[in-house]
Amino acid sequence: MVLSTVKPSVDVQGLKEVWATLQKDSCPYHYNFHMHTICSDGQLSPVDLMEQAVKIGLKGMAITDHHSVKGYQIAQTWLDEKHQLGSDARLPHLWTGVEVTSDLFGTEVHLLGYGFSLEHPAMTRYLQGERPKANDAYAVNVIHAIHQAGGLVVLAHPSRYHCSAERLIPAAARLGIDGIEAFYAYGNPKPWTTSIKETEKALQLSESYQLFNTCGTDTHGKSLLQRI
């Protein structure tokens, strides 16, 4: 598909169009919406991450550092410079992203925000480099803040929590999430491949609640093709 010419970071419609096309083999060589840099708990610098993304041939992506968009900002500057220089390399579409530790009815979960405005005041409390506290940590407030800032919200790796995906996904859907990270490699297999059982369960639930399905390697190491 042809992505919009709207500024990549806030092109929410383009993001929805991509998510509507994702399949089990979309990640890690075409799209990756869950990656970390040294700006939170990853091992890659934002520039190293972008260079690797270009080498892999990613079409679209998001850096989702924990409670920080510093990695995104560095990566976006790098992309802008490449575009200005007329780089011959095929450059990926980059959206704003963040991972926020949240409380979903007593269960700690991670919510991924995408395509939000960095300048919106609702996001300030979630971009300070530390997990939110008290009422700010409640999933309903995190979801509301990201939506206020024009973004979309996804429940990360729904089968990695103390509470089952069958309980968490409906609960998150009732609060207004937009999608779930359906295509995810539990157990860090090599090569990366989405986990069959968990993916089938997630797809069934996302269909029931009319949610988008996203994909990501959740990389924390030196390779975008693995989690660790």
Residue 225 and residue 108: Cα distance in Å, rounded? 26
Whether residue 2 lies inside any domain: the answer is no
Whether residue 220 lies inside any domain: the answer is no
% of the chain residues with pLDDT over 70: 96
Map residue 152 onto helix, strand or coil. strand
Instruction: Look up residue 45 and give its two tokens.
Output: 């610098």
Binned at pLDDT 50, 70 and 90, residue 8 comes out as: low
Mean pLDDT of 186-202: 97
Whether residue 227 lies inside any domain: the answer is no
pLDDT of 143 > 50? The answer is yes
- Give me the number of domains the chain comprises: 1
Whether residue 207 lies inside any domain: the answer is yes
- Do residues 178 and 154 lie in contact, with contact meaning Cβ atoms separated by under 8 Å? yes
Whether residue 211 lies inside any domain: the answer is yes
pLDDT reported for residue 1: 40
Residue bearing tokens 């803040």: 145
| Full residue range of the structural domain in which residue 178 is found | 8-215
Whether residue 223 lies inside any domain: the answer is no
- Do residues 11 and 3 lie in contact, with contact meaning Cβ atoms separated by under 8 Å? yes
**pLDDT tens digits along 18-28:** 999 999 999 99
pLDDT of 2 > 50? The answer is no
Mean pLDDT of 15-44: 98
Residue bearing tokens 């399949």: 23
Among 185, 131, 126, 186, residue whose Cα is nearest residue 153: 126
Whether residue 157 lies inside any domain: the answer is yes
Whether residue 39 lies inside any domain: the answer is yes
CATH code, domain carrying 53: 3.20.20.140
Q: How many CB atoms lie within 10 A of CB 106?
A: 7
Instruction: Look up residue 142 and give its two tokens.
Output: 């995190």
pLDDT of 187 > 70? The answer is yes
Residue 179 and residue 32: Cα distance in Å, rounded? 15
Among 129, 14, 154, 117, residue whose Cα is nearest residue 67: 129
**pLDDT tens digits along 70-114:** 999 999 999 999 989 887 779 999 999 999 999 999 999 999 999
pLDDT of 4 > 80? The answer is no
% of the chain residues with pLDDT over 90: 92
Among 224, 179, 186, 227, residue whose Cα is nearest residue 206: 179
Write down the number of H helices and E strands in the chain.
Answer: 6, 8
